[in-house]
Amino acid sequence: MTESKAMILGCSGLSLTPDEAAFFRDERPWAFILFARNIAEPGQIRDLVGSLRQSVGRDDALVFIDQEGGRVQRLRPPLAPNYPPGAALGALYRQDASAGLRAAWLMSRLHAFDLSKLGITADCLPVLDVPVEGAHDVIGNRAYGKDPDTVGAMGRAAAEGLLAGGVLPVIKHIPGHGRAFSDSHHALPVVDTPLDELRRHDFAPFRANAGFGMAMTAHVIYSAIDPERPATTSPTVISDYIRGEIGFDGLLMSDDLSMKALSGDFADRARASLAAGCDVVLHCNGVMDEMAPVAAAAPVLAGKAQERAAKAMAPLGKTDGVDERAVRDEFAAFFEAVA
């Protein structure tokens, strides 16, 4: 099998440029991620996904996307319905727990139908962050609720729905982004909450879902643990809390290295994330001048990180065989997806 580097990369447009195809062939990213700029119509998406895999010589190279529902949804009509946000599912859960859990499972099962038709194999869902009053809206209604039990239970149902369709879930943003008072896309959030409260509130949904195969870090400083470095680049947060207290032993990926919460050049960001304990680094925007230093800093995926990657990929493509129309009809009984 071709060796892969410990990185997930994006591309710039609707098809690979010759430079991108050559770069991916030479640098061999482990996986790829798509954004709205990469999405037009079904044939184009399938062609792009095929080109990405061809560039690294691996038919099983994962292709990720953020398909949550609500405002974070890369596939839109007519490619997929506009699905409700996590908060709408959580509201249903608070009225009727079994109905909420079923709706979360069904919506993720529908995501799996939508994605697998296009060759997309991993979804950065569920969001396990628990917002607090006054926190920045970067999470907002993406969350299932404002209490850890709701978020943990609904997140599990969502992850299981994806897996039932052979699509891999990514729990995010470990160990919790819900308390951040700024958007880590634009600034570095600092959370000064005492450790006992973090354990009770923020970490709990991740602890309850620690058995899933992949997780994405939070670009957030937790001053009670490491006042200098965000979770993504903090060996203390990753070793003692994500791996230790929370008990997550799956593949840990950084959040996007191009977000402004991180400092230093792109090689430094990649090295710091990997040195802290991330298994792979994520770079999303497809800008070659940024990807090149990330690739130069990323090692070959090996050892424990490679074992975690292989284990995370084991459920890929294994589906429950349910009828898509029946799932859509059942979901519509809870939420008529807005066209």
User: How confident is the model over 27-61, as pLDDT tens digits?
Assistant: 999 999 999 999 999 999 999 999 999 999 999 99
- 255 part of the active site: yes
Which among 66, 255, 256, 279 is annotated as catalytic? Answer: 255
Q: Which CATH class is domain 5-334?
A: alpha beta
Phi/psi zone of residue 187: left (φ > 0), alpha (ψ -120 to 50 degrees), beta? Answer: beta
The 10s digit of each residue's pLDDT in 305-314 is 999 999 999 9
Residue 184 and residue 256: Cα distance in Å, rounded?
10
Domains of the chain, by residue range, sit at: 5-334
In degrees, rounded to 5, the angle at the alpha carbon of residue 269 between the alpha carbons of residues 268 and 275 is 85
Q: What is the pTM of this model?
A: 0.95
**Which residue of the set 19, 185, 192, 320 is catalytic?**
185
CA 121 to mean position of chain CA atoms: 12
To the query of whether residue 219 is one of the catalytic residues in this protein, the response is: no
pLDDT digits (tens, 9 = 90+) for 155-186: 999 999 999 999 999 999 999 998 876 665 65
